Amino acid sequence: MIKFNAIYRNKFGTNNSRYMRRINHQIPSIIYGKQFLKKELLILVEHDIIFNLQKNDIFYSSELLISLENKNFFVIVKDIQRHAYKPILLHIDFLCIK
């Protein structure tokens, strides 16, 4: 099982997302799933860690464990947005399954 950490994203919007990608090298992401969450969780994950993990096919086909402030979320990847020509990730959607 693939495991990684995330932090809550307090600010959102285009300008803040660009700032997080360029300066902090973090990817704005979201965890959703009405069965297990009351509302969507806006999070940030480290770009370099996720970029290396997503090179393997198992990243897309298995469940992932996201640790978010002493809470664990079992998720699967629903969508990844990539830059048109640069090798960077722009946004990831996760679906909570447990």
pLDDT digits (tens, 9 = 90+) for 73-95: 999 999 999 999 999 999 999 99
pTM assigned to the model: 0.92
Say what the pLDDT of residue 98 is.
85
Nearest of 44, 86, 90, 47 to residue 68 by alpha carbon = 44
Say what the pLDDT of residue 11 is.
87
Q: Calculate ∠ Cα 41-14-65, nearest 5°.
A: 30
Output the CA–CA distances (angstroms, integers) from residue 67 to 3, 16, 39, 45, 82, in the order listed: 8, 23, 17, 10, 23
Average of per-residue pLDDT values in the chain: 94
Say what the pLDDT of residue 97 is.
93
pLDDT in tens, 19-56: 999 999 999 999 999 888 999 999 999 999 999 999 99
